[in-house]
Amino acid sequence: MVKVIYVAKDGTRTEVKAQVGDTVMQTALDNDVAGIVGECGGSMMCATCHCYVDDAWTDAAGPRKDGEDDMLDCAADEVKETSRLSCQIQLTPELNGLVVHLPEDQV
Amino acid sequence: MAGIVIVGAGQGGLQAAISLRQEGYEGTITLIGAEDGLPYQRPPLSKAYLKSGDAEALRLRPETFFEKSDITLRSGLWVDRIDRAGRTVHAGAEVFAYDHLILATGTRNLRPPIDGVERALDLRTLDDAKKLREVLSTPQRCAVIGGGFIGLEFAAVARGLGHEVAVAEAADRLMARVVSPEMSQRFLDLHHGLGTAVHLGAAAQGVTRDAMHLADGSEVAADVVLLAAGVRPNTELAAEAGLAVDNGVVVDAQLLTGDPAISALGDCAVFPDPATGRAVRLESVQAATDHARLIARRLVKGDSDGYGAVPWFWSDQADWKLQIAGLSAPGDDTAVRADGAVFRFAGDRLSSVETINNAKTHMQTRKRLGQGPVSRAALKAADLDIAAV
Ligand SMILES: Cc1cc2nc3c(=O)[nH]c(=O)nc-3n(C[C@H](O)[C@H](O)[C@H](O)COP(=O)(O)OP(=O)(O)OC[C@H]3O[C@@H](n4cnc5c(N)ncnc54)[C@H](O)[C@@H]3O)c2cc1C
Ligand code: FES
């Protein structure tokens, strides 16, 4: 089990326990974290799982995957350097304590 | 307050329940579905799941979600009647009262009158996919009736696993209902390249223990036959309740039926296409979930905006990801860009863009179509650069 912290636009922090191997998107849905939609089920088709990786965690989370840039281009909210598709971040033991920030809009 | 009852616990029905709570609805929500277990996604059934068998990955929400969100999920329960006057739905001896009813009953596989069709397998539900996976665990000669998305996705996976595969399509090209002739041709080449035998203009006429028989009298040896020849919307409940049905439950731009207390969404609903006003029925996750969100906003916030979402769709076949943004009719014109993107036009209006492994153009199109119509002349002048018009 690892810990993931979701920070909503208004600052609300939701801390959840997650399974190594699950994605940050799936973990959010499983725990009813508002702010992640994940419409395409992680097929990199919808960009409704947009999140901003906290500055302290960008290295651990790794770079964007192939194709993520193009999808993010069309995310509903502002795209920053730390923007990722949360369905493309798979949890590893190294990501225990990961903090991601959520955009206001996903659709 | 009797609350809201949703019939059909698939992708759209579940999304309606989720969106109602997200919009702040505080009444009771009862989600009734005929299938056992938790609501799940169908798209991976003909893609990742066929390969991996990972049923957990299909689940849309965990059991705890329903408790936390105070959504009553009644799985394995078949609704057999709507009493509009009494505002109740009936499932055997159980009765559920509603203030508002949402029909999200989806579709079922079309079973054409082909000899021996009962031998053919389906690919619509998780149970169907489980059965297919079992069959594919030993070498097989597979025949597929229907060269649409689902049949071709299955064919690609089965070939990838090393099975012999033949596809019979009654039309003269693949996926004819939904993609351009250019795309049909490219996918024909793809499947040929994978080693699949594709029979076009070949209606299946019979299924026997070891073959699929075609209308021209030829036969294709097959141990397994998959029936993927389209679907039929589940409209019986609505029809028996006296609601208008025409290739689906007929709804207006608010996704309301003729009864102000009943909405319909997703695969089972026929609604006015925002771009043309034409009555359409779409089978996509996008339509099911966007419909659900609109209905929730209307019921909770009183929004009266008409439905205006841009349709989009995808299909994975081997390592090709086909994406379609917009909606075209089979006869729409086409223009092919140098990078292979296919632009389709209904008269002077851009109706859709089809791409393979080109998410950028796909997303640009979705964004642009969401802002309003695009004219052919403007696109031509911009060398088909959708981001420039
Ligand atoms: C193999 C496969 C692959 C697909 N791939 C894609 C894809 O790549 N991209 C895409 O966008 N879409 C895809 N789709 C289509 C997509 O899954 C559907 O469009 C979507 O599920 C529609 O949602 P829905 O809620 O309208 O219907 P469904 O998800 O079908 O749910 C309807 C539910 O209602 C239940 N029901 C019906 N009648 C009753 C009743 N009287 N009482 C109780 N319950 C009832 C049914 O049992 C069913 O569970 C695919 C579909 C299949 C089968
Ligand atoms: S869930 Fe659709 S792109 Fe991540």
- Tell me the per-residue pLDDT of B106-126, one tens digit each, with 9 for 90 and over: 999 999 999 999 999 999 999
Contact between B256 and B305 (Cβ < 8 Å) = no
What's the mean pLDDT when you consider all of chain B? 96
User: How much is the pLDDT for A106?
Assistant: 86
CATH node for B4-108+231-301: 3.50.50.60
User: How much is the pLDDT for B94?
Assistant: 98
Which sign does the torsion angle of CA B288, B293, B298, B303 carry? negative
What is the DSSP code string of B113-166? S-BTGGGSB--SSHHHHHHHHHHTTS--EEEEE--SHHHHHHHHHHHHTT-EEE
* Domain limits, chain B: 4-108+231-301, 111-227, 319-388
User: How much is the pLDDT for A107?
Assistant: 78
As a whole number of angstroms, the distance between CA B262 and CA B5 comes to 10
Q: Which of B225, B43, B22, B5 is nearest to B126 (CA)?
A: B43
The response to whether residue A4 sits with its C-beta less than 6 Å from ligand 2 reads no
User: How much is the pLDDT for B163?
Assistant: 97
Q: What is the pLDDT of residues B210-258, one digit of tens each?
A: 999 999 999 999 999 999 999 999 999 999 999 999 999 999 999 999 9
Show the ligand 1 pocket: residues with CB < 6 angstroms. B 7-13, 32-35, 42-43, 45-46, 78-79, 104-106, 123-124, 150, 234, 237, 266-268, 283-286, 288, 313-315
Which sign does the torsion angle of CA B248, B249, B251, B254 carry? negative
Per-residue pLDDT band at A34 (split at 50, 70, 90)? confident
Report the CATH superfamily, name and number, of domain B319-388. Answer: FAD/NAD-linked reductase, C-terminal dimerisation domain (3.30.390.30)
Q: What is the pLDDT of residues A8-31, one digit of tens each?
A: 999 999 999 999 999 999 999 988
The yes-or-no verdict on residue B271 having pLDDT over 90 is yes
Read off the pTM.
Answer: 0.95
User: How much is the pLDDT for A73?
Assistant: 82
The stretch B38-54 carries a mean pLDDT of: 95
CB-CB neighbors (< 8 A) of A34 in chain B: 22
CATH fold match for the domains B111-227 and B319-388: no
- For residue B266, the SS3 value is helix
The yes-or-no verdict on residue A76 having pLDDT over 90 is no
Distance to chain B for A97, nearest Cα, Å: 22
Give A71's contacts (C-beta < 8 A, 6+ positions apart).
Answer: A44, A45, A46, A47, A85, B359, B363
- Assembly ipTM: 0.86
Q: What is the pLDDT of residues B56-82, one digit of tens each?
A: 889 999 998 999 999 999 999 999 999
Residue of A nearest to B310 (CA): A107
Give B135's contacts (C-beta < 8 A, 6+ positions apart).
Answer: B121, B224
- For residue A107, the SS3 value is coil
| Ligand 2 centroid, distance to A86 Cα (angstroms) | 7
Q: How many CA atoms lie less than 13 Å away from B127 in the CB half-sphere?
A: 5
Least confident of A40-49, B124-133, B154-163, B223-232: A40-49
Q: What distance lies between CA B88 and its chain's CA centroid? A: 28
Domains of chain A are 2-101 (3.10.20.30)
User: How much is the pLDDT for A45?
Assistant: 87
User: How much is the pLDDT for A70?
Assistant: 87
| Ligand 2 centroid, distance to A22 Cα (angstroms) | 14
As a whole number of angstroms, the distance between CA B218 and CA B282 comes to 34
Pick one of 3.50.50.60, 3.40.50.720, 2.40.160.20, 3.10.20.90 as the CATH number of B111-227.
3.50.50.60
As a whole number of angstroms, the distance between CA B255 and CA B266 comes to 10
Per-residue pLDDT band at B272 (split at 50, 70, 90)? very high
Per-residue pLDDT band at A101 (split at 50, 70, 90)? very high
As a whole number of angstroms, the distance between CA B245 and CA B240 comes to 10
